[in-house]
Amino acid sequence: MTADTVIDAVERAHRAQQAWWVSEPQARAAVLESIATALDAQAEELATIADRETHLGMPRLVGEVARTTFQLRMFATALRAGSILAPQTDPAVPGPPPQGHPTLQRVYLPIGVVAVFGASNFPFAFGVLGGDSASALAAGCAVVVKEHPAHPELSQRLVQIARDAIAGAGAPMDLLTSVRGVREGAELVAADQIRAVGFTGSLAGGRALYDIAANRATPIPFYGELGSLNPVVVTRAAATARGPEIAKGYVESMTLGAGQFCTKPAVLLVPADSTIIDEALALLPGLPAMTLLTADIATRFDAGIAALAATPGVLVHRATNSAGDQQSPAIVTADLAAFLDPASALRHECFGPSSVALTYQDPAQALQVLNLDEGVLVGCVHGEDDDPDAHLFLRAIEQRAGRVVWNGWPTGVAVTPEQMHGGPYPAATASTATSVGLHAAERFARPVVRQDWPAHHSNPAAIVERAE
Ligand code: NAP
């Protein structure tokens, strides 16, 4: 299979969009279900290709296919029930304004063709058929996927499966087309007929493409889900009550998937008199070197760790040797002052199995970190019931995170209708949007109000009254 040119891929998707503009919610649901069924049928084969390309391991990858099909079906179920993107009506009220008004009906139209960029670390859940494609298709949009160079064979296979499944559901196959290449990715965002972008990836890549979207003659919405320095803070009471358990949970979470999660606990804050950091450091020698997704990612991780080691006030702890794509986990201890320096290497995401561990003397010091004016995807507080510090920490994190976790770890984003996966910049480019959960479809649906719209011009196909 060869990649389409950008012009060709966009034009074909645009034509499919024209035909699909007034698709019924049931028809969109059928498309999503057809894709989910096809993926489930080939889960083992797909996970095997993904494992060869990513080294993420079969259990994780088979599980990720299941998560992806669950997500597709969640949108399908909601479309059938009329519980997303359903028209809502304000019936006419006779009399003069402001009380009196005509009949207003709010409907949601597809925004148009959506460009989707997936990330290296979730070949299924944030890939060709991940949340961005699922939510765009749910909103009635055609999708042009930028295939990821970290899993080229898998990407092509997924595109092929999706196109066949779309056609199998009686919809235009070109509702999903794809392109490949860095230059092509930039051209895709600039292409006239693209009306929105869903991006999951690095801050640098996301920002470069966001700027292209914003600088077009006709700027378009760019929904970028980026990297994040997710904080985890432990109160004094929690450190006293269950320090060893917290140390173990921290190391497990920061090394899950070889640390290649946007939600990894990037910054741990513990009271200065606790032994949690020592206990976490003691676990490092028991951990093997980990195979990272690509040689480039391993090189960048190694360079990131080297930059941290060269930073004043910073100590890098690594137990085993690293070479090539085999990288050993690292815990980085640092002075609070070094972390608070905005120019410090500590303030950049180091994508891979590492985390920064800091200590605080009193809650006000911890709040200096928690109150930084930078968005994060998720933050966690470990505390006890009636903990005097927990309330302050929770409220501080809530000001800058999309998700706040009590007595848990940031890794693991449940697929549920009300999930919020995003956050203020630089965690994401649109702080009010989520890329996981049913609300993700709202990014690609454009509200229109029909005022006194003549009933005989309504498209019954596109209207499903909200199921009460
Ligand atoms: P990436 O290097 O930014 O790549 C993502 C996609 O964007 C790739 O297809 C890449 O293509 C393209 N791209 C990047 N820069 C580009 C540019 N300047 N012009 C055109 N295309 C460009 O990210 P990644 O390595 O795949 O993923 C790891 C990052 O994603 C980490 O930072 C992680 O935290 C983040 N992430 C975030 C979430 C979230 O939901 N917030 C989820 C998963 C991962 P090329 O490689 O061909 O350039």
Q: What tokens does 334 get?
A: 């640092």
Query: Residue 456: what pLDDT?
Result: 77
Positions annotated as catalytic residues are: 225, 262
Query: Residue 217: what pLDDT?
Result: 98
Q: How far is it, in rounded angstroms, from Cα 398 to Cα 431?
A: 13
Nearest CA to 151 out of 184, 174, 131, 180 is that of: 180
Query: Residue 319: what pLDDT?
Result: 79
Does the CB atom of residue 351 touch ligand 1 within 6 A? yes
Query: Residue 467: what pLDDT?
Result: 36
Q: How far is it, in rounded angstroms, from Cα 205 to Cα 146?
A: 13
**Residue 440 C-alpha to ligand 1 middle, in angstroms?**
19
Nearest CA to 325 out of 294, 284, 285, 288 is that of: 294
pLDDT in tens, 135-146: 999 999 999 999
Structure confidence at residue 289 as a pLDDT band (50, 70, 90) = very high
In degrees and rounded to multiples of 5, residue 146 shows phi and psi of: -90, 115
Query: Residue 3: what pLDDT?
Result: 54
pLDDT in tens, 352-403: 999 999 999 999 999 999 999 999 999 999 999 999 999 999 999 999 999 9
Query: Residue 49: what pLDDT?
Result: 98
Write down the mean pLDDT value for the chain. 95
Residue type, position 345, single letter: A
Query: Residue 4: what pLDDT?
Result: 66
Least-confidence region, from 63-67, 186-190, 259-263, 455-459 = 455-459
Query: Residue 464: what pLDDT?
Result: 42
Does the CB atom of residue 126 touch ligand 1 within 6 A? yes
Does the CB atom of residue 434 touch ligand 1 within 6 A? no
Pocket test for ligand 1, best of 262, 350, 354, 378 (most atoms within 8 A of CB): 262
Give the closest residue (by CA) to ligand 1 atom 25: 120
Query: Residue 465: what pLDDT?
Result: 43
pLDDT in tens, 4-20: 699 999 999 999 999 99
Give the closest residue (by CA) to ligand 1 atom 12: 205
**Residue 317 C-alpha to ligand 1 middle, in angstroms?**
28
Structure confidence at residue 461 as a pLDDT band (50, 70, 90) = very low
Quick one: which atom of ligand 1 is closest to the CA of 180?
47
Does residue 463 surpass a pLDDT of 50? no
Quick one: which atom of ligand 1 is closest to the CA of 189?
20
**Residue 202 C-alpha to ligand 1 middle, in angstroms?**
4
Does the CB atom of residue 442 touch ligand 1 within 6 A? no
Query: Residue 459: what pLDDT?
Result: 59
Instruction: Spell out the domains of the chain, with CATH numbers in brackets.
Output: 3-226+428-467 (3.40.605.10), 231-406 (3.40.309.10)
CA distances from 321 to 57, 330, 336 (A): 22, 11, 28
Does the CB atom of residue 377 touch ligand 1 within 6 A? yes
Q: How far is it, in rounded angstroms, from Cα 346 to Cα 314?
A: 9
Does the CB atom of residue 200 touch ligand 1 within 6 A? yes
pLDDT in tens, 391-424: 999 999 999 999 999 999 999 999 999 999 999 9
In 3-state terms, the chain is what percent helix, strand and coil (to 5)?
Answer: 45, 20, 35
Rounded mean pLDDT, 90-112: 97
Query: Residue 63: what pLDDT?
Result: 98
Give the closest residue (by CA) to ligand 1 atom 28: 201
Residue type, position 162, single letter: A
Quick one: which atom of ligand 1 is closest to the CA of 377?
41
Axis crossing angle, helix 58-81 with helix 25-41, rounded to the nearest 10: 160
